Structure 1
């Protein structure tokens, strides 16, 4: 069973020096992995997300120390359009540009349709879908001004297939793929691309906690939880790593990916090949 225990950054070519990247939901997990990968490639990064101020401060300082780039933080609430607008405006005012936007912020709730709390539906749609609409519409003017832009939406395998009890999440992620296509079409002649990355299960501290919780709840081994519960739909039976997602985000941000736009790219171990 291939489960990475220690998360490490891969050495990246400095292909993004001079670029500014904003990654929502980037104080931990996939978002932080992407932010670190973009920083390793030379981009200045703006973090956003939840967490204790001192821990976020250490995360930001670590990025500066590790990669020699600028790193700042916005506490913007991704469920509030006004807060999102303030974050984009502050980023452009401070850096003078915004080249790469990664829409990663997201939450989850699991319940049958008839029992799904309405407030949870509204919250998931706001954070997982509407926030990407607001960040994108507000970032495009800065990208158009410089004749370069990369919008990367972190969707999910659930943007391509459904699962029971995840109505809001699946609906939002399907919507993200639609938004990705429209953004790509509207910016196709302007040096701007928009793509969606669709991960299956990615190994993060939250997933690690889920493994232990499932094992205790069902009285089964960790390996059985991983293979038969979490990775039941992933033919390769391994988690993706945050480094893999980060490396793909870096590639999509480079000139080498200038003709890749409007796609939903699965990183799911074959899940959606069924």
Structure 2
């Protein structure tokens, strides 16, 4: 694939409408902030409109901090424009209706879709209830597919579109000899779902190229600590700033599909490889490039190809 020379100035997304799922906290909130700072009108969606919701960790109940109203307030404070839609991606009806609902609140168009929402409930395969397996697959495959199916006709109508699926380095095969955490972390099903999402991304990229709809995947190069993942990441593990992932997403949603589609990009590797300017989530501060650390997965392809 021919890759463009990345411009030093950030993309201008003025006039574009973006829909970001799972945007009440963490990575989804960071992406929504960065897209808004680049000029996009952002529609944020999650279950938690104005109150935190209950999730599960290790099969046990847990409160997930963060709301869409908080995300709206952050975007407004940085001078951006955003709207909130409450939706549950485990609902087939909600997934099917989300893209059209987004156009109705944000000016009649949809240019960008970021499939970020997901379930992080880790248990060893031997101990995992089939309900958690089903929910994990639903969050990372069924929901992105269903929401994309609703978005594609709108993007075709506009003559262009950009879909970004949020992935993980966990989709790559485990390192051998197996490190100790592979034996107890309990993320095999999550990793399998992300690997399938990567393949879905590449297949969609091929199918939608002639429609000028780019489909890419972006994930952390290491790990990002969020309210949803904090309990799953060891306290001493060096995590990364979500601004690098948000900037990588921003880089995926402004060029024609023929120039940038079908990539599986990692948040520190991609900016480092292409000398991409990285900005704070409000777009006001230029951050230094960070060389991917030695503890990143050795099979990550820095170019995303």
- TM-score by length of structure 1 reads 0.80
Partner residue of 2:193 out of 161, 172, 191 = 172
1:58 CA drift (Å): 3.6
What is the alpha-carbon distance in structure 1 between the residues aligned to residue 19 and residue 207 of structure 2? 21
- Confirm whether residue 189 of structure 1 aligns to residue 210 of structure 2: yes
1:52–1:141 Cα change, 3 Å: closer
**Contact 1:266-1:272 at 8 Å conserved across structures:** no
Task: Please list every run of 5 or more consecutive structure 2 residues that lacks an aligned counterpart in the other structure.
Answer: 1-8, 52-66, 175-181, 269-291, 300-305
Higher helix share: 1
SS of match in other structure, 2:252: helix
Task: Please list every run of 5 or more consecutive structure 1 residues that lacks an aligned counterpart in the other structure.
Answer: 1-11, 215-221, 227-237
- Confirm whether residue 45 of structure 1 aligns to residue 42 of structure 2: yes
Number of the residue aligned with 2:102: 91
Paired positions, count: 240
1:114 CA drift (Å): 2.0
1:139 CA drift (Å): 0.3
What is the alpha-carbon distance in structure 1 between the residues aligned to residue 49 and residue 32 of structure 2? 18
1:192 CA drift (Å): 1.1
1:253 CA drift (Å): 0.8
User: Structure 1, residues 150-200: CA drift from partner, whole Å, max 9, x if none?
Assistant: 100001001223455223211210111011011100111222100111213
What is the alpha-carbon distance in structure 2 between the residues aligned to residue 208 and residue 116 of structure 1? 20
Number of the residue aligned with 1:8: none
Number of the residue aligned with 1:235: none
- TM-score by length of structure 2 reads 0.72
Query: Could you tell which deviates more after superposition, 139-148 or 159-168?
Result: 159-168
Number of the residue aligned with 2:93: 82
Query: Could you tell which deviates more after superposition, 57-66 or 244-253?
Result: 57-66
Number of the residue aligned with 1:144: 156
RMSD: 2.2
Query: Could you tell which deviates more after superposition, 41-50 or 257-266?
Result: 257-266
Number of the residue aligned with 2:143: 131
- Confirm whether residue 119 of structure 1 aligns to residue 140 of structure 2: no
User: Structure 1, residues 86-122: CA drift from partner, whole Å, max 9, x if none?
Assistant: 2222112333111000000111222222221100001
Partner residue of 2:21 out of 16, 24, 42 = 24
1:76 CA drift (Å): 1.0
SS of match in other structure, 2:189: helix
Query: Could you tell which deviates more after superposition, 40-49 or 199-208?
Result: 199-208
What is the alpha-carbon distance in structure 2 between the residues aligned to residue 208 and residue 111 of structure 1? 16
What is the alpha-carbon distance in structure 2 between the residues aligned to residue 239 and residue 59 of structure 1? 22
